[in-house]
Structure 1
Amino acid sequence: MSQIPLLTIARSYGKPLAGMILGALSIASSHATTYNIDPAHTNVRFAIDHFNTSTNTGGFYNLTGQLTYDPKAKTGSISLVIPLNSLNTGNKAFDIMLKSADFFDIEKFPLAHFESTKWHFAPNKDNSEVTKVEGLLTLHGKTNPVTLTATKFNCYLSPILKKSVCGGDFTTTIDRTKWGISKYTLLGMTEKVDLTIQIEAAKQ
């Protein structure tokens, strides 16, 4: 049944019923689909300048969480759990150093979390392109706001999973000292860390 006949019927029975149906239509139109994070295609990679010589890189893997997305209503949310023990730089000795109390201190803080607070979309009302995601990053026992810039975001029907998958790539630069990780900054090592986040999530 279309929306116009529903409203016509509702008006004939008075305002209370009309209000109920209008509310139901609003909820249905803004219902976001929920997706489960795919750990195989979701990761956080970092790059940090090494005393103005080279660039140290590494990543965190096996992330979990959920994503919700409604392109018509231009709404979304993302919740990520980042296991810091999954850190991999390609060098075991370097991994051990970064996991120590001098840096991530994973024995005390084994997990990091990201929770989005606001999604931004293209200003054109007919364009549902995701442009930015604001959120809160909890790391090393501290929580600070970060803004992720979307370099791409899309949904497709996975031929392997046989279900809808949404995901994209995001970038941001953070000041590690805001999370209490300040080792070697007094010796000239930058506090700025570039992050690249790959996210994919499959429909529940």
Structure 2
Amino acid sequence: MTIATTAIPGFVAGTWDIDPTHSEVGFSVRHMGGISKVKGRFTAFSGTVTTTEDPAAAGVEVSVELDSIHTGNADRDGHLKTADFFEVEKYPTMTYKATGVRADGDKYVLDGELTLKDVTKTVPLTFEFNGFGGDAYGGTRIGAEGKAQINRKDFNVNFSGVQNNVVLVGDKVEITIDVEAVLRTG
């Protein structure tokens, strides 16, 4: 199935800057043997979205500052910054770069490359397009929400803590994004 830009109401081709005050990059991972999930987010990130008349040539580039992790627990955040997890002093950023969009039922998929701790793997990001629209300042905005799933060990995030015979952190990590971006002008 191909994507027809004429089927997207208000479609605008261009380069869009992600608005971090109206966007979120988050994650969740099973905790304590899977009985609950720890959720977190990154508070510092930037990126661009490129829309084209040919959606197969559209793109996304995002850079996330790993030091900006926030899970609601300062001790856990500090641990996540160490070599057990992100090793932020050596690997300060995580990046995602995608070129092209394909339809998958009523959703869309970006086939992009995620780089974390100098490991790059193809990670499909399934997303729902929220549309194009004007803002209160005379600009134009675009919105989308997406999800991807990775195995953290594929990216050398290998912490394997066990306490009282209970695995502390699961391997499967769900990444969630909610993006609002502003069309560049001039």
Report which of the two has the higher share of helix.
1
Report percent identity of matched pairs.
28
Are 1:106 and 2:88 an aligned pair? yes
Query: Among residues 111, 114, 124, which one is paired with 1:134 in the alignment?
Result: 111
Aligned to 1:196: 176
Moved more, 132-141 or 147-156: 147-156
In the alignment, the residues of structure 2 paired with residue 164 and residue 130 of structure 1 have an alpha-carbon distance, to the nearest angstrom, of 23
Query: Among residues 43, 62, 86, which one is paired with 2:24 in the alignment?
Result: 43
Any gaps of 5 or more consecutive residues in structure 1? 1-30, 124-128
Matches within 5 A, 1:73-152: 73-74=54-55, 75-121=57-103, 131-152=108-129
Is this contact kept in 1: 2:16–2:49, CA < 8 A? yes
Query: Among residues 64, 69, 82, which one is paired with 2:46 in the alignment?
Result: 64
Are 1:175 and 2:151 an aligned pair? yes
TM-superposed deviation, 1:42: 2.5
Q: State TM-score, norm by structure 2.
A: 0.82
Aligned to 1:126: none
**Aligned residue identity for 2:23:** T
Change (3 A) 1:178 1:185: farther
Any gaps of 5 or more consecutive residues in structure 2? 1-11
TM-superposed deviation, 1:44: 1.4
Is this contact kept in 1: 2:58–2:99, CA < 8 A? no
* Larger RCO of the pair (alpha carbons < 8 Å, separation 6+): 2
Structure with the greater alpha carbon radius of gyration: 1
TM-superposed deviation, 1:157: 0.7
Moved more, 100-109 or 178-187: 178-187
TM-superposed deviation, 1:37: 1.4
SS state at 2:78 partner: helix
In the alignment, the residues of structure 1 paired with residue 13 and residue 97 of structure 2 have an alpha-carbon distance, to the nearest angstrom, of 17
RMSD: 2.0
Report which of the two has the higher share of strand.
2
SS state at 2:70 partner: coil
Q: Which runs of 4+ in 1 moved over 4 A?
A: none
